[in-house]
């Protein structure tokens, strides 16, 4: 560094004319997650002070920033791009709930966890927290004009990025090919983003082998190599106590060694102090960018001799801008890769409206996101292509490598009564395309407080028709306590077995309607305590009509949208019933965000047998987290009810992606009526306050409730909340 300064001063002091050729500059940008946003500040200082960048190389986040800069984006444009990215969604990785198909929406509500196993080639979990669909689309959009550029030397600034080839464990330098694939590969943080497969090679984050790739820059031929190092805080013994901290520190030590080699290979190192930040704090982008700017300013005495005067700077910009690609052409055809046969035809048909029109990437990305929401694909990327002299749109669908079939695993723990905690293990095994295009075989199981199995074949009538039929069989047995005045008075065993056939119409990815007939057997028997209704057993027969619409932003803890359900049953045969009778039930919930952190919600539900009273077993059993929280389980029972809820949720903080999502504070008020329910007030009400955490094993709700007539309790639950 001192030699650089002396050489620069000596050169400026000489009276002889400056050499015709200026020294060329190559820059290496280090990886570091959110910390890499500091690179934008470094590049902003370079541009403000007319420091030319002739070559640029990056790893991980350095590869993202470097690739954007190399493709002609200014530092301010890069800053705008990263600020508009939804980083929690990118890191969390799940397809937005709104974009899932209707059946995938049902899956997420039935099993509200991220625990899945695939059985495509034996039992295996996903290769990472997420497939990287969201970050892939961000990269595809930003680099779209350059998607047909073969050599990275032909970009506005020659560019390289590095990845680790997972099979060989060796460094791989991307210098040609689709630039989006290269940038996505260097961003594949192990465990967070799935590896990128290209032929027989698997690529992950290059930080494991070369996090500060000054050697790669040097090979490109610059006179001066500048390294940008992200200086983090030193670890202490107190920081390393858990399994995760030991594993994390072990990786950090290895990465740090590659950084030392990188700094040794540089002519100048810009050290950016990011010790007060962590690698997931993307929301602190402004501060990180400023840190990069100030760290570069601290090196200004050494850097300014390489600054260009205005004339030379304008010439440099003109040459750089002259290498930028023309505007995005209008696609004349669609090419689909990654799938064959019917799936390929379906994708091509769904995108036909794009042909012959200026490309709207927002609409295209929405279509591709919904494609992944069907459950067969991990993701879909896009770019430009040419064939027979015409411009086209290339779509690459990435099928899941571990599924289908896919097994979702979940848990349900009900501590609605602290003295009687119920646990149920649940699962859903889904086979796709098992009986033709669009068909599914869904198999549910439960064991614990409830033991049960259910299997349904969903089959469109023709191809991917919206009309379908669905035969179903089920059997289950559960133990239910009955409460009165907040005290347990009885325990019943409910056993059911049934077979059904439904016909329905899939209206959209939000809505389904179906009708059918179910016949089966019911055994409701008193096991302990005082009889609250008669034990019955016998055949059941029911004609069913169902309507459901799901317009929510989250399956379990929504903050905006609405959900509506309606069911009408005509029960022609039921043990204990004096005659056939109807049973109607409906519910609607509305959620609205009122600020970045806060939301309110209203729900209404009700049910009735339309005046028919002799139904054998009461049709509606309420009490607990699902309704009238302060009351005991099944304390409110009868053949007609309504319940209104109003509540407020406030986001308190967000957990790391591998643990879950947001933690909320919640309050709600409930009021309603269960008609003809014994020993219950005329208008049962209660108030609830607690905390809800969205975790990897499902939502956890802990709180307290106080109601009328002396009802009060603490409670907790894991599983369904709203």
Distance between CA atoms of 238 and 257, rounded to whole angstroms? 22
Element (H, E) at 105: helix 102-110
Which candidate, 61, 42, 62, 63, places its Cα nearest to that of 53? 42
For the chain, report the end-to-end CA distance as a whole number of angstroms.
62
| Active-site position among 54, 60, 136, 367 | 60
Is 391 an active-site residue? no
Give residue for tokens 């009276």. Answer: 15
Distance between CA atoms of 21 and 56, rounded to whole angstroms? 20
179: exposed, middle or buried (Cβ count in 10 Å: 0-12, 13-18, 19+)? buried
Pairing of strands 224-231, 25-29: parallel
Pairing of strands 390-399, 377-387: antiparallel
Is 154 an active-site residue? no
Residue 718 has, within 13 A of its CA and on its CB side, a CA count of 15
User: Residue 645's Cα: distance from chain center in Å?
Assistant: 29
Rounded alpha-carbon distances, angstroms, from residue 3 to 6, 11, 54:
5, 12, 22
Phi-psi region of 347 (alpha: psi -120 to 50; beta: other; left: phi over 0): alpha
Which candidate, 67, 135, 64, 85, places its Cα nearest to that of 283? 85
Distance between CA atoms of 85 and 77, rounded to whole angstroms? 13
Residues 6+ apart with CB under 8 A from 85: 138, 282
- For the four alpha carbons of 478, 484, 485 and 489, in that order, the dihedral sign comes to negative
Distance between CA atoms of 429 and 107, rounded to whole angstroms? 10
Distance between CA atoms of 126 and 119, rounded to whole angstroms? 11
Rounded alpha-carbon distances, angstroms, from residue 106 to 36, 97, 590:
38, 10, 18
Give residue for tokens 């053949």. Answer: 639
| Active-site position among 205, 215, 367, 686 | 205
Which candidate, 275, 268, 232, 274, places its Cα nearest to that of 251? 232
- For the four alpha carbons of 314, 315, 320 and 321, in that order, the dihedral sign comes to positive
What is the number of residues in the chain?
A: 722
CB 75 within 8 A of CB 47: yes
Residue 470 pairs with which residues in a beta bridge?
502
Distance between CA atoms of 654 and 663, rounded to whole angstroms? 6
Distance between CA atoms of 326 and 617, rounded to whole angstroms? 72
CB 393 within 8 A of CB 331: yes
Phi then psi dihedrals of residue 4, to 5 deg = -60, -45
Distance between CA atoms of 145 and 9, rounded to whole angstroms? 42
Angle at alpha carbon of residue 178, lines to 77 and 657, rounded to 5°: 65
Instruction: Write out the DSSP string of 542-595.
Output: EEEEEEEEEEESSSSS-SSEEEEEEEEEEEEE-TTBSS-EEEEEEEEEEEEE-S
Q: Which residues are catalytic?
A: 60, 205
């Amino acid at each position: 560094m001192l030699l650089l300064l002396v050489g620069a001063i000596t050169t400026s002091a000489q009276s002889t004319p400056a050499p015709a050729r200026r020294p060329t500059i190559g820059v290496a940008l280090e990886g570091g997650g959110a910390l890499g946003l500091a690179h934008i500040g470094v590049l902003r200082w370079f541009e403000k002070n007319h420091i030319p960048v002739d070559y640029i190389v990056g790893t991980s986040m350095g590869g993202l920033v470097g690739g954007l800069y190399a493709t002609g984006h200014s530092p301010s444009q890069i800053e705008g791009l990263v600020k508009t990215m939804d980083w929690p969604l990118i890191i969390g990785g799940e397809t937005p709930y709104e974009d899932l198909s209707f059946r995938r929406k049902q899956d997420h509500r039935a099993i509200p966890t991220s625990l899945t196993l695939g059985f495509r080639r034996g039992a295996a979990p996903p290769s990472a927290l997420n497939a990287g669909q969201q970050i892939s689309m961000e990269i595809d959009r930003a680099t779209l004009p350059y998607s047909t550029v073969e050599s990275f030397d032909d970009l506005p600034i020659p560019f390289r990025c590095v990845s680790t080839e997972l099979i060989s464990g060796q460094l791989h330098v991307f210098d040609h090919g689709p630039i989006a694939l290269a940038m996505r590969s260097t961003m594949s943080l192990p465990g967070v983003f799935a590896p990128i497969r290209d032929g027989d090679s698997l690529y992950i984050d290059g930080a494991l082998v070369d996090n500060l790739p000054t050697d790669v820059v040097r090979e490109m031929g610059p006179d001066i190599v500048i390294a940008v190092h992200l200086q983090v805080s030193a670890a202490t013994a107190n920081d390393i106590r858990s399994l995760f901290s030991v594993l994390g520190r072990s990786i950090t030590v290895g990465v740090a060694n590659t950084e030392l080699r990188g700094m040794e290979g540089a002519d100048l190192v810009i050290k950016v102090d990011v010790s007060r930040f962590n690698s997931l704090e993307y929301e602190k982008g402004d501060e990180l960018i400023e840190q990069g700017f100030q760290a570069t300013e601290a090196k200004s005495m050494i850097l300014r001799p390489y600054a260009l005067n205005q004339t030379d700077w304008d010439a440099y910009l003109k040459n750089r801008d002259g290498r930028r690609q023309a505007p995005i052409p209008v696609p004349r055809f669609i090419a689909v890769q990654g799938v064959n046969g019917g799936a390929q035809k379906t994708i091509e048909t769904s995108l036909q409206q794009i042909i012959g029109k200026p490309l709207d990437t927002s609409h295209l990305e929405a279509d591709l996101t919904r494609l992944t929401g069907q459950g067969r694909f991990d993701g879909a990327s896009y770019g430009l292509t040419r064939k027979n002299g015409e411009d086209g749109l290339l779509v690459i669908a990435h099928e899941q490598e571990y599924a289908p079939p896919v097994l979702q695993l979940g848990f349900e723990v009900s501590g609605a009564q602290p003295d009687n905690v119920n646990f149920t293990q649940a699962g859903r095994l889904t086979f796709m395309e098992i009986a033709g295009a669009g068909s599914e075989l869904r198999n549910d199981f439960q064991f614990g407080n409830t033991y049960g199995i259910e299997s349904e074949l969903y089959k469109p009538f023709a191809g991917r028709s919206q009309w379908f039929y669905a035969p179903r069989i089920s059997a289950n047995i559960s133990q239910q306590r009955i409460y009165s005045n907040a005290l347990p008075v009885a325990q019943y065993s409910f056993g059911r077995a049934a077979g059904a056939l439904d016909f329905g119409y899939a209206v959209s990815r939000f809505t389904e309607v179906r009708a059918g007939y179910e016949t089966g057997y019911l055994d409701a028997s008193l096991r302990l305590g005082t009889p609250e209704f008669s034990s019955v057993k016998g055949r059941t027969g029911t004609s069913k009509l169902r309507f459901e619409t799901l317009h929510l932003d989250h399956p379990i803890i929504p903050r905006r949208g609405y959900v509506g359900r309606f069911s009408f049953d005509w029960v022609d045969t039921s043990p204990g019933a004096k005659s056939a009778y109807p049973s109607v039930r409906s519910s609607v919930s509305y959620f609205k965000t009122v600020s970045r952190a806060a939301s309110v919600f209203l729900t209404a539900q009700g049910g009735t047998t339309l005046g028919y009273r002799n139904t054998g077993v009461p049709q509606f059993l309420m009490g607990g987290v699902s309704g009238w929280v302060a009351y005991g389980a099944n304390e409110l029972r009868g053949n007609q009810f309504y319940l209104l809820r109003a509540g407020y949720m406030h986001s308190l903080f967000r957990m790391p992606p591998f643990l879950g999502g947001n933690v909320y504070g919640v309050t709600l008020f409930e009021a309603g009526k269960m008609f003809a329910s014994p020993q219950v007030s005329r208008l049962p009400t209660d108030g609830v306050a607690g905390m809800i955490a969205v975790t990897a094993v499902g939502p956890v709700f802990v709180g307290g409730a106080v109601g009328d007539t002396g009802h009060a309790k603490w409670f907790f639950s894991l599983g369904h909340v709203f």
